[in-house]
Structure 1
Amino acid sequence: MKRRTVLRGAAVGAALATTGLMAGTASANSPHASVCVTEQRTNRLLTFRRDTEWTEENVVWSWNPGVGGWYNLSDVRFRRATGFGRVALAAASGGNAGIIRLTGNREHDLDDLLWYGEPGGNPHAIERVPGSGVVVTASSHGHLDVYAPSRPSHPDTLRHVQTVELPGAHGVLWSPSLRVLWGIGDEVLKAYEVTGNGRDSRLVETGAQVTFPGLGHDLQPDYGHKGRLLITDTYAAYEVDTRSLTATVILEGRLIKSYVRDKWGEAMWLQAEDLPPRRWSSDVVHFDTEDKLHPEGQIYKARLLNPEFD
């Protein structure tokens, strides 16, 4: 059941402007669209085309890091990096996070890492800030870990430089047009300015924030609307207006682990289905127009293969 409810956030200072060019790829409803999932039973990142059955023989791209610190892959997203083109970012509840070079091969493994860190604390999300490094959420530790480079176009020079408290930290997203990093935690979404350059890069709260009733979980762009974010918490999925700093319920439901809308407005989401032993996982990814089943899968999040947004 869908319901529209507005929650007010606190804006400090002037409203955040939303400018910049929005770019996208084929609609998630297109036969050429692809989706990447964090599949935790086999602990791999798996990419499928929308127009195929999501079975092993139809995997378009995969990354297999093994286990250890890569146990229970919890996040994946795709970005562009100077000198490397499109890269994948990955985080795992086992404690690791990293940047994967996409070589064009069907299968990837640890040899394809450009960089990895060991933040610990149950990492749930990772984001790249162009020129300033990467930020990883440590949900059980309740903070953001900032890694900055001595040479911006060399990921192997990334080092830990800052820890920022954010209780329940679960999601991060860089906004190219606003030039702020959004972070989501327990009952709050906050905006951070990135100051300094290279190894001196630091996060500073802007004071802009939005509150909601549950533990924040996923944080994604709305590919069809500049100035709008999509978030989930314990109870629902919301769209957030970054000008008015208000959150509107768009889909009620407990434990929505990921939610996004493509450039044409079609939604894709994953909701925990109480599958043992990973009761936070599901074998189904939902779309407005259909469901896609990955047999025996234990998926935690689903992502569009689109590095362009905002």
Structure 2
Amino acid sequence: MDTSPETSGAAAPATYKVAITEQHAGRILLFDRNAQWTDANVRWSFSTGNATGWDHPFEIRFRDTQRYGMIALMTFGKPGEGRAAIVNVSSKAHLTRADVLWSARITTYPHCIERVPGTGTVVVAGSRDRLHVFGPSSSDPATLKEVQTLAFTKAHAVLWDDQNGLLWVTGGTVIRSYRVTGTMRDARLVEQGADIAIAGNGHDIQPDYSKPGTLLVSDSHHVYSLDKKTRKVTTLVKMAYPKSYVRHANGQSMWTTDTNEDDSAWGGPTVHFSVGGDRTRAGAQIYKARLYTTQFH
């Protein structure tokens, strides 16, 4: 078993873009991987103003739509008061809450959000105890409304698997998968396959872009490689409190950690890379780092 991130054969690419959820400032920021992560080098941003329910950004991911092109899916908040939101990435470089296409109040501490293409379904992981399923009445995300709520203790991460038509979820000591039946307001999640046991407090799920048949799942002290077909889990990395973990198509790993699990901030100032040097933003509290891509695998 590996005890450190994979570096063999990996080489830093010329450049790619990385989005971070910066909880201290209440901002989502996009940088070139190889640039210095200063204000002058911000390529795209979403600022919340740290308004109630919009503070502490937890999730950012990018998805393609027929109507809007690229959109950003985001979650924010504190215990008891949070938001899930969608914005149109292509509208301008620096966005605020005034640019939101859709948002919903989520009181279960929303940590992650995913959109299922073809059905219009949006799923939000409320980290306290449930999944929130939203369905639209048209291609306009403003028509999304909650159509299903499922119990899921400590639900932290959701990810659509377009290869197998499954929605993967992790939280607590399990990884679970769902089929999506129906479309629009009739969409519902139905469990598919047996639960997969992990050590505890499942935290993140991302594609392994270097191995398209696998997912990367993190919990409090491990990063696992999950074979999507066989559902076999293998420990890839041991580390303390990984908050996000992904591998670029070239094999380079990128991850964030909580440097002090006992304080109220859920991240540190540094995004780590297995090759090419880390990136630090002084004073930041970075919860997740995401590759700037709409690809699912």
Paired position in structure 2 for 1:63: 46
Give the Cα separation in 2 of the matches to 1:211 and 1:259.
19
Per the alignment, in what secondary structure is the counterpart of residue 303 of structure 1?
strand
Question: 2:198 aligns to what SS in structure 1?
Answer: strand
| Residue 231 of structure 1, aligned match among 207, 211, 217 | 217
Question: In structure 2, what is the equivalent of residue 24 of structure 1?
Answer: none
CA contact (8 A) 2:26 2:56 kept: yes
For 2:132, the equivalent position in structure 1 comes to 145
Kept in 1, the 8 Å contact 2:11–2:251? The answer is no
How much does 1:272 deviate?
0.8
Shift in Å, 1:277: 5.3
1:93 aligns with: 77
Alpha-carbon deviations, 1:123-158, whole Å to 9, x = none?
000000112320000011x1100000111x211110
Q: How does 1:143-292 map to 2 (within 5 A)?
A: 143-151=130-138, 153-274=139-260, 278-289=264-275, 290-292=277-279
Aligned-residue offset at 1:211: 0.8
In structure 2, how many angstroms separate the alpha carbons of the residues matched to 1:253 and 1:301?
Answer: 15
* Residue 293 (str. 1) matches residue 280 (str. 2): yes
Structure 1 position 120, deviation (Å)? 1.5
| Structure 1 stretches of at least 4 aligned residues deviating more than 2 Å after TM superposition | 1-4, 27-32, 103-106, 275-280
Aligned AA for 1:39?
Answer: E
- Please say if residues 121 and 183 of structure 2, whose CA atoms lie closer than 8 Å, have aligned partners that are also in contact: no
**TM-score by structure 1 length?**
0.88
Whether contact under 8 Å (1:72, 1:93) holds in the other structure is yes
Which residue pairs with 1:106 in the alignment? 93
The alpha-carbon distance between structure 1 residues 76 and 28, as it changes in their structure 2 partners (threshold 3 A), is farther
Equivalent residue in structure 1 for 2:57, among 58, 73, 78: 73
Distance 1:143 1:210, change over 3 A: same
CA contact (8 A) 2:160 2:296 kept: no
| Per-residue deviation, residues 239-278 of structure 1 (Å, max 9, x unmatched) | 1011221111111012100000011111100011128954
The percent identity for this pair of structures is 38
Amino acid at match of 2:3: R
Segments of 5+ residues of structure 1 without an aligned counterpart are 5-26
Separation in 1, partners of 2:91, 2:32: 16
Contact 1:234 1:254 in 2 (8 A): yes
In structure 1, the partner of 2:122 is 134
Q: Contact 1:278–1:298 at 8 Å: present in 2 too?
A: no
Question: Structure 1's 120 and 269: CA in aligned 2 closer, same or farther, altered over 3 A?
Answer: same
Measured after TM superposition, the shift of residue 226 of structure 1 is 2.2
Residue aligned with 2:90, SS:
coil
Q: What is the rounded CA distance, in whole Å, between the counterparts of 1:238 and 1:277 in structure 2?
A: 26
SS of 1:199's equivalent in the other structure is helix
Give the equivalent residue in structure 1 for 2:18.
35
**What SS does structure 1 have at the residue aligned with 2:53?**
helix
How far residue 31 of structure 1 moved from its aligned partner, in angstroms, is 3.3
CA distance in 1, matches of 2:159, 2:223: 16
**Which amino acid in structure 1 is aligned with residue 226 of structure 2?**
V
Amino acid at match of 1:137: A
C-alpha deviation, 1:197, in angstroms: 1.5
Residues 184-236 of structure 1: CA deviation (Å, up to 9, x unaligned): 11110001000112101000001333111111001111112222010100111
Counterpart in 2 of 1:116? 103
Instruction: Give RMSD over aligned pairs.
Output: 1.8
Q: Give the partner amino acid of 1:198.
A: M
Alpha-carbon offset, residue 54 of structure 1:
0.8
Question: What is the match of residue 7 of structure 2?
Answer: none
How many pairs were matched up? 286
The structure-2 alpha-carbon separation of the partners of 1:137 and 1:275, relative to structure 1 and needing over 3 Å to count, comes to closer
Q: Equivalents in 2 of 1:2, 1:207: separation in Å? A: 28
Q: Distance in 2 between matches of 1:60 and 1:157?
A: 30
Pair 2,35 (structure 1): closer, same or farther in 2 beyond 3 Å: same
Q: TM-score, normalised to structure 2's length?
A: 0.92
Shift in Å, 1:29: 2.9
Query: What's the offset of the Cα at 1:279?
Result: 3.8
- What stretches of structure 2 of length at least 5 have no aligned partner? 5-9
CA-CA distance at 1:104 after TM superposition: 4.8
